Structure 1
Amino acid sequence: MCTRIKNCLAMSPFKHLILASLVLAGCAQTPVAPVAASAPDAAAPEAVAAIEPVLPNVELSSELLYEFLLAEFASQRGHQALAVEGSQELARLTRDPRLAKRAAQLALESGDMNRAVEAFRFWQETEPSALMATRILSSLLLRGGRLDEARIEFVKVLKSEEPAVGAVFMQLYTMAASYPDKAAVLQLMRELAAPYPQVAEAHWLVAQLATAALEEKLALSEVRRARELKPEWDAPVSLEAQLLNKSEPQKSLALLQRHLSVHPAAGGIRLQYARALLTQKQYQAAREEFQLLATASPDNVDLAFAIALISLQLNDLSGAELQFKAALLKGGKTQDVIEYFLGQLSEAREDEAEALTHYRGVTQGEYQLTAQLRMVYLLNKQGRLDDARAQLQQAQAVTPAQRVQVLVIEAQLLSEAKRSTEAYRVLEQGMVKLPDQPDLLYEAAMLADKLGKFDVSEKYLRRLIKLKPDHAHAYNALGYSLLERNVRIKEALALVERALQLTPDDFAIMDSVGWGYYRSGKLDESVAMLQRAFAGNPDPEIAAHLGEVLWIRGDRAEAAKVWQDSLKAHPDNAPLQAVMKRYMP
């Protein structure tokens, strides 16, 4: 008796080669059952009732078997174009739905969407009851932007699964949500949903897509209808609350609260409610909701962590510590984060030794560098500058920006310790390894100016301006340095005015411009600008400048009042003391 093709295909491709000559010799004229093809990877949910396809009665020939083997081997060896072409030709020759299905799968795997659409249409033609073909074809047409064609296929899918049509609408959302033309896909889905006015999922689908298309009025209308049809369903409540939160946050909270009063086990809604309370800064109520969630999920480290952070916000340090330690015992990927916040708590309690212990426990993750820098701060605060510098050198600075940050901090520590020459050397050495880093250039320029290296400072600032033409503070620093030395006043004034153009609300730069007007002999303009700066920021150095210009203009009583009031607030400010001593010895 002759072997049929379907039996041959149950074996491996290598066995096909062994049996091919026997099949060709003995079966060439015998009617055979069609080849069984495997299902596409993108399998859709099964139809409600499977219908066996009508199979053609096709005789085996050497050409047919050769074409099949060629397509299969081409697919296995990565020659997808050859596999697609061969499988489609074989399907056309036999009109076998299983071969058509295999051809559709290979076309889909090839990534050639046009060939895939053609192949799935042919599969539909050979097996009209194949719902999988219709599902995948509709998805392909949607992805290809062929919405009118997709609509026809989606209608078929919906009609074929009317007993479970709600689930189909939910699946439609996953396909439609990523479509780039939000208005167009919304219109398509509204047309598909229209025949199903009593299906809550259809209204929810339209509401979601209307939200994405910024049609909020439509979204609210549709999601409310979905909620009316399925009041126990959380999803419409969640979406309506999100929509309301933008303009009517209190109504959003009330909606979530009402749903929870009827469905207290709705964990997703409770979490949304807790987060909404946080947004409204109702910290106590938010903590209570998070605690309810934590009671229901006692092993959830994220909930314990959230409660701890809210406790911090409420200044409940003991409560925060309790929750952080509970989260730490639960383990998980947030351990380093918890150690960091425990360090913050210890700092708040002024227990620096414990803070250092917790910061050392941060051995990886997003807070590692921050924890190391907090250690540097605490060590320096304790007068342990060398230990602080050693800790800095161990800091996990990976990016250029982080490495610059570490260098700048080390220079600032040295500068505060009145070791400005060493600080400058640190920055100079850093610029060799990290050239043209704006923050490094700026800090080096400031230190160079402080050390009297004015040419070097100007060189760095001009380099910075070339790299970042909108760097307002570089213009201001260079201009102010010239003004302080009372040189190149016209150029200096132009520099600080340019800085003010770039950041018109910066009070320090207003002070520089006011000082530039003073150096230029424009006393009234200077007083006006300095008063504006001082009103925005009553800094003692601005007070020193304002008082000096008022004194020179002849308003000595007003100048004295500005100085004396500022001195009361800042009794140790050296620049203020110096100018008062000069004019009021």
Structure 2
Amino acid sequence: MKRSESLILCSLLLAACAQAPQRPEPAAAPAPAASAQASAEPELKLPNVALSDELLYEYLLTEIASQRGYKTLAAEGGADLVKKTHDPRLARRSAQLAFESGDMNKAIEALRQWQAVEPDSPVAARMLASTLLRGGKLDEARQELAKILKADEAKAGQNFIQLFQLVAPYPDKAAVLKLVRELAQPYAQVAEAHWAVAQLAQLAGDNPLALNEIREARKLRPEWDMAVSLEAQLLMKDSPREGLEVLHRYLSGNPQAREIRLQYARALLEQKQYRESRDEFQRLAQDNPDSPELAFAIALISLQMNDLKGAEAQLKLALEKGKKDQDSVQYYLGQLGEAKEDEDEALAHYREVKGGEYLFASQLRVAYLLSKRGKLDEALEFLHRAQAVDNQQRVQLLLIEAQLLREAQRIEDAYQVLQQGLEKLPNHPDLLYETAMLADKLGKYEISERLLRKLIQIKPDHAHAYNALGYSLLERNVRIPEALELVEKALQLAPDDAAIMDSVGWGYYRSGRLDESVKMLRRAFAGNPDPEVAAHLGEVLWVRGDKDEARKVWQDSLNAHPGNTLLQAVIKKFTAP
């Protein structure tokens, strides 16, 4: 029997064993994974080995072992067949079986065996280098990679690009950078060699080296867009103006470079140069008028620029052109409707969001707009139907429901909603805090304090929990030393928070430390001219004897907040005849 006929017979027998009692598939070569790669390789030099019963039996056992899941046995059988036949096709199959076994050493051994049988195979060389890298054998990998580069120096540029793709996933970026720098030394006139080093230097965090290398690449190939792109990307981190200039200069001479223009448009957007960014996206859209993605990008920038008309036109164009993610478009059309103060339009678009990342946000906006229109029950029902995907969203739904009820002056109902939420999520910080705030508002001071102390235990750095508890005591004028200690602790945790400064200033007032109180309240008022802070500052000034200044603080704040009841009450308390 001829050798080629015997191999076909092997495949037919294997198919029969694997598929019985089903009808066998058409015959295939013994090494299917490698056969596709072999098409671009040198013509195989096949050994003149007769197919003995022993070889046929061993081949069938190897394949059956592989199909039955005995990967180690199959790999050993494949390696033994290669030793006996020196057949390159079996060598490829043996390498595949060794990979499937999961034994890195066996895979390396099988690939070296393949290389010995088929020394001119670039696929074998690349697979061996890749496997050595995965096994952490960098010195051995470097030797194999050097052979690959040397074997085809005419294609050194292409090979360095492939080399980067091969080594980039390696976890030790510094080690692999060193490896490629050594490989690149003999190829100083190859732009792609400098590009590969620059890419790896960037991954290793060595931006100066990356910038030097990519500039060397550009000297060798000034108009190479991949080098231009990387140089601009590196510059954008520390010198964004230079990065933008690199892209702008290249586009001046290469106006049709679409990928560079897209990078330029995005870079301008990152630098908040909205008008210039939109101009570039519009140029791209002129050459790609059917692109819904470009229309969507222009719309979002227009929204950022408060160009509502322009944004609306582009969003509708994105819908018309069939943007795949139409839910996003509908969400932003809803946002646009709100910006235009057209609540009917906003509601209509939000209701069209059926899925995707903006579904939850759209549901919240619908509930808010319904409540704003006085349809509180409908808003609450809508919230109850909303689909939360995690605990954070579940808590957000509870907090919003409580907020809507609170705004409707249904404080007790809001409190009950949060209490029920705490039964399911008893340690959630946001639920604890908001429930404590409502308990305090309802006069349930013991419950409020218990919840806040639990929150402090769970999150010892929660400044607002300390502040809320301390301020509650100060407002009721009880346990003043303890209250002051709490708000001062809050200020240590959040030293720039104006609301906490107000609490500390109020604590000094309750403690009789008027000068310190005025000083702290002035800081708070400068940071946040809130009417409550104005009320406190005015009161302390009045008590200290600075009545004219107190009147001015109160009056200025009342002019800015004419309906504030707390401010009005304080003014009446101290100035009424």
User: What TM-score do you get using the length of structure 1 for normalisation?
Assistant: 0.91
Distance 1:232 1:12, change over 3 A: farther
1:233-382 equivalent positions in 2, closer than 5 A: 233-382=224-373
* Corresponding position of 2:184: 193
Q: Deviations over 1:559-584 (max 9, x none)?
A: 23322222222222212221222222
1:155-554 equivalent positions in 2, closer than 5 A: 155-554=146-545
Counterpart code for 1:458: E
Inter-partner Cα distance in structure 2 for 1:281 and 1:438? 35
Q: Report the CA distance between 1:279 and its aligned residue.
A: 2.3
Inter-partner Cα distance in structure 2 for 1:9 and 1:264? 59
Distance 1:353 1:16, change over 3 A: closer
* Contact 2:466 2:489 (8 Å CA) reproduced: yes
Inter-partner Cα distance in structure 1 for 2:269 and 2:35? 42
Q: Report the CA distance between 1:459 and its aligned residue.
A: 1.8
* Contact 1:100 1:123 (8 Å CA) reproduced: yes
* Corresponding position of 1:11: 12
Inter-partner Cα distance in structure 2 for 1:334 and 1:132? 40
DSSP-derived class of the 2:189 partner: coil
Counterpart code for 2:44: E
Counterpart code for 1:269: I
Q: Report the CA distance between 1:115 and its aligned residue.
A: 0.9
Distance 1:319 1:2, change over 3 A: closer
* Contact 1:46 1:132 (8 Å CA) reproduced: no
* Contact 1:36 1:99 (8 Å CA) reproduced: no
Please state if 1:122 is matched with 2:113: yes
Inter-partner Cα distance in structure 1 for 2:520 and 2:507? 10
Q: Report the CA distance between 1:271 and its aligned residue.
A: 0.2
Inter-partner Cα distance in structure 1 for 2:459 and 2:494? 14
Please state if 1:38 is matched with 2:39: no
* Corresponding position of 1:53: 45
Count of aligned pairs: 566
Q: Report the CA distance between 1:354 and its aligned residue.
A: 1.3
Q: Report the CA distance between 1:15 and its aligned residue.
A: 5.2
Counterpart code for 1:133: A
* Contact 1:46 1:131 (8 Å CA) reproduced: no
DSSP-derived class of the 2:420 partner: helix
* Contact 2:58 2:77 (8 Å CA) reproduced: yes
* Corresponding position of 2:23: none
The percent identity for this pair of structures is 63
* Contact 2:360 2:387 (8 Å CA) reproduced: yes
Inter-partner Cα distance in structure 1 for 2:75 and 2:402? 66
Inter-partner Cα distance in structure 2 for 1:484 and 1:181? 59
Q: Report the CA distance between 1:137 and its aligned residue.
A: 0.5
Distance 1:227 1:14, change over 3 A: closer
* Corresponding position of 2:133: 142
Q: Report the CA distance between 1:251 and its aligned residue.
A: 2.3
* Contact 1:277 1:286 (8 Å CA) reproduced: yes
Counterpart code for 1:359: Y
Inter-partner Cα distance in structure 1 for 2:105 and 2:276? 56
With 83-92 and 444-453 compared, the bigger mean Cα shift is at 83-92
DSSP-derived class of the 1:194 partner: helix
DSSP-derived class of the 2:187 partner: coil
Q: Which runs of 5+ in 2 are unaligned?
A: 19-27
* Contact 2:293 2:323 (8 Å CA) reproduced: no
* Corresponding position of 1:24: none
* Corresponding position of 2:77: 86
Counterpart code for 2:45: P
Inter-partner Cα distance in structure 2 for 1:14 and 1:561? 96
Q: Report the CA distance between 1:273 and its aligned residue.
A: 0.9
Q: Deviations over 1:367-406 (max 9, x none)?
A: 1121222222222222222222222222232322212212
* Contact 1:550 1:559 (8 Å CA) reproduced: yes
Distance 1:42 1:404, change over 3 A: farther
DSSP-derived class of the 1:221 partner: helix
Distance 1:294 1:284, change over 3 A: same
Inter-partner Cα distance in structure 2 for 1:293 and 1:318? 20
* Contact 1:87 1:102 (8 Å CA) reproduced: yes
Q: Deviations over 1:478-524 (max 9, x none)?
A: 11111111111222122212211221111111111121122222222
* Contact 1:40 1:104 (8 Å CA) reproduced: no
Inter-partner Cα distance in structure 1 for 2:7 and 2:365? 72
DSSP-derived class of the 1:298 partner: coil
DSSP-derived class of the 2:432 partner: helix
Counterpart code for 2:421: G
Q: Report the CA distance between 1:239 and its aligned residue.
A: 0.4
Inter-partner Cα distance in structure 2 for 1:424 and 1:112? 61
Q: Deviations over 1:121-167 (max 9, x none)?
A: 12222332222221111111122221111111111111222222222
* Corresponding position of 2:22: none
* Corresponding position of 2:554: 563
Q: Which runs of 5+ in 1 are unaligned?
A: 18-34
DSSP-derived class of the 2:563 partner: coil
* Contact 1:294 1:304 (8 Å CA) reproduced: yes
Q: Report the CA distance between 1:53 and its aligned residue.
A: 2.7
* Contact 1:58 1:94 (8 Å CA) reproduced: yes
Q: Deviations over 1:414-472 (max 9, x none)?
A: 22222212222222223233332221221111111111111111122122222222221
Inter-partner Cα distance in structure 2 for 1:127 and 1:410? 72
Inter-partner Cα distance in structure 2 for 1:363 and 1:567? 46
DSSP-derived class of the 2:69 partner: coil
Inter-partner Cα distance in structure 2 for 1:400 and 1:96? 60
Inter-partner Cα distance in structure 2 for 1:459 and 1:530? 29
DSSP-derived class of the 2:186 partner: coil
Q: Deviations over 1:154-190 (max 9, x none)?
A: 1111122222222211111111111122222112112
Counterpart code for 1:122: Q
DSSP-derived class of the 2:495 partner: coil
Q: Report the CA distance between 1:46 and its aligned residue.
A: 6.4
Counterpart code for 1:156: K
* Contact 1:207 1:222 (8 Å CA) reproduced: yes
Distance 1:249 1:42, change over 3 A: farther
Distance 1:195 1:2, change over 3 A: closer
The RMSD of aligned alpha carbons is 2.3
* Contact 2:44 2:88 (8 Å CA) reproduced: no
* Contact 1:84 1:107 (8 Å CA) reproduced: yes
Inter-partner Cα distance in structure 1 for 2:14 and 2:247? 60
Inter-partner Cα distance in structure 2 for 1:565 and 1:206? 64
Inter-partner Cα distance in structure 2 for 1:517 and 1:414? 35
Q: Deviations over 1:321-379 (max 9, x none)?
A: 11100101112332111111111222222211111111111121111121222222222
Counterpart code for 2:408: A
Q: Deviations over 1:262-311 (max 9, x none)?
A: 22221100101111222233222221211121122222211000111111
Q: Report the CA distance between 1:413 and its aligned residue.
A: 1.6
